[in-house]
A and B are shown apart, each in its own frame.
Chain A
Amino acid sequence: NAGVTQTPKFQVLKTGQSMTLQCAQDMNHEYMSWYRQDPGMGLRLIHYSVGAGITDQGEVPNGYNVSRSTTEDFPLRLLSAAPSQTSVYFCASSQPGSPRGWKLFFGSGTQLSVL
């Protein structure tokens, strides 16, 4: 199984550009989420989804959009990139129920630099 697949692995953007970070999982997990990882800050939740067509904001949602049209895919859109969005982005998935719901399966990350 591939698990959680993120593309691209690396990306450089100029301020103001838009782009979409792709995330796909093949485990039929209902829950998917996006986190950003910054030095000294740990991982912070951007957006999450509890199923197709259902999304909600996390701790740091500003400047990002998400949609979930299928169970497998959960893309993250940067509307107008800013240097503050330079970070490593992780997509994760999990199954509902306790304690399975809190076992997150992470992708390998996308390293984004905004100049």
Chain B
Amino acid sequence: QQQVKQSPQSLIVQKGGIPIINCAYENTAFDYFPWYQQFPGKGPALLIAIRPDVSEKKEGRFTISFNKSAKQFSLHIMDSQPGDSATYFCAASKNAGGTSYGKLTFGQGTILTVHP
């Protein structure tokens, strides 16, 4: 079963718009929630991440909002640019005494297109 559910599958916005990608998880043992960005023909790359002890984290134009009680988190891209067009994956991991490093559970991915 999909432990991390991501929506929407695809998203089209105009330049300057604020796309929002949502993720929901089921396993309350998850305690690290990264977002990865993937350009065509490339591997995913870490964009931003959050721990459940904070409700929001901002890095440049990218913001993660986290709702622990609802088991949901989302990515907001402020002032989106055509160069932000990529596939975005949310993910989750649980700290199991160090043996969980490198083990991420990914969402299904969202293909974002930003039109000029």
Chain A residues packing against B (C-beta within 8 Å): 4, 31-33, 35, 40-45, 48, 50, 58-59, 90, 92-99, 101-104, 106-109
Confirm or deny: B49 has a beta carbon within 8 angstroms of a beta carbon on chain A.
yes
Per-residue CB proximity of B26-68 to A under 8 Å, as 1/0? 0000001010100001111110010100000000000000000
Contacts of A106 in B (CB 8 A): 43-45
Contact B32 A50 (CB under 8 A): no
The 8 Å CB contact of B34, one of A42, A45, A102, is A102
Of the listed stretches B13-21, B72-80, B95-103, name the one at the interface; the rest are far from the partner chain: B95-103
B79–chain A nearest beta-carbon distance, Å: 25
Chain B residues packing against A (C-beta within 8 Å): 4, 6, 9, 32, 34, 36, 41-46, 49, 51, 89, 93, 95, 98-109
Contact A102 B44 (CB under 8 A): no
The 8 Å CB contact of B93, one of A35, A50, A102, A107, is A102
A107 touching B98 in the complex, CB below 8 Å, given contacts A42-B108, A42-B109, A44-B106: no
Which one of A35, A98, A109 has the highest number of Cβ atoms from chain B below 10 Å of its Cβ?
A98
Identify 4 new A-B residue pairs, CB closer than 8 A, beyond the known A59-B105, A93-B102, A108-B42: A33-B102, A96-B101, A102-B49, A103-B49
A68–chain B nearest beta-carbon distance, Å: 12
Contacts of A96 in B (CB 8 A): 98, 101
Contacts of B32 in A (CB 8 A): 98-99, 102
Contacts of B108 in A (CB 8 A): 40-42
Contacts of A109 in B (CB 8 A): 41-43
A101 touching B98 in the complex, CB below 8 Å, given contacts A40-B108, A41-B108, A45-B103: yes
Across the two chains, which residue of chain B brings its CB closest to A56? B99
B115–chain A nearest beta-carbon distance, Å: 23
A45 touching B101 in the complex, CB below 8 Å, given contacts A104-B46, A106-B44: no
Contact B101 A102 (CB under 8 A): yes
Contacts of A103 in B (CB 8 A): 34, 46, 49
Contacts of A4 in B (CB 8 A): 43
